[in-house]
Amino acid sequence: MSFEHKAFIFDFDSFDSELRPLLEASLRSGNIEPLRCFILSNKELLVDPYEGDALDDDWEDMIEDMDAHEYGDFALTKYYSPKDDHGLGVKWADFQEKISNRGKLNISPFLGAPVGVDGEFFDPGKMGSYFQTTNEVGESLKKIEGVKGEMQDDLIEELESYESFLSQANSVKKGIYVTF
């Protein structure tokens, strides 16, 4: 099974100060009530993370596992639009391999870093979930510029599209959220 790379412009700074502490506490303890309260108090700003539609009164029926990952998935939509995907789809692995061959990287420009505590990382889709701060987005742009000339012709268009996405996030001083 191949992973489909999805990437979104993300308000990392607001997430970091508002939701991240609650999310990490819920991941550590297993108590979803702080996340549930966050969702209820921000419901008008949140959307369904799968379709991007406004939450209705029975939004909680969509949650199967009732864990911090799934509640966090809904809460996270305060900081990005699920309808605005700029990911690389299944071709992301080709780009990742090219970048990986260039030596040690702190973060991948196509991924980022996970969020979590004590080895318990936020991963609602169970296939990977990553974040980049505003500064890391700028670093990712530089890394992509460094490998652009080495890409095969059939990958250049997608790489330039992703570069444009990162440039847009950088210009509005936002981070990115990547999930599979």
pLDDT of residue 97: 83
- pLDDT-based confidence at 139, cuts 50/70/90? very high
Name the pTM for this structure. Answer: 0.94
> Does residue 1 lie within any of the structural domains?
no
> Does residue 80 lie within any of the structural domains?
yes
> Does residue 25 lie within any of the structural domains?
yes
pLDDT of residue 150: 78
Q: Where in the sequence is the domain holding 27, given as residue range(s)?
A: 6-179
| Stretch 39-43: mean pLDDT | 98
Of 72 and 3, the structure prediction assigns the larger pLDDT to 72
> Does residue 55 lie within any of the structural domains?
yes
Computed over its alpha carbons, how large is the radius of gyration of the chain? 17
Of 145 and 44, the structure prediction assigns the larger pLDDT to 44
**DSSP run (H or E) holding 6:** strand 6-10
Q: The dihedral of CA 97, 180, 139, 160: what is its sign?
A: positive
> Does residue 85 lie within any of the structural domains?
yes
What domain count does the chain have?
1
> Does residue 96 lie within any of the structural domains?
yes
pLDDT of residue 2: 64
DSSP 65-115: S-SHHHHHHHHGGGGS-TT-----BTTHHHHHHHHHTT---SS-TTS-B--
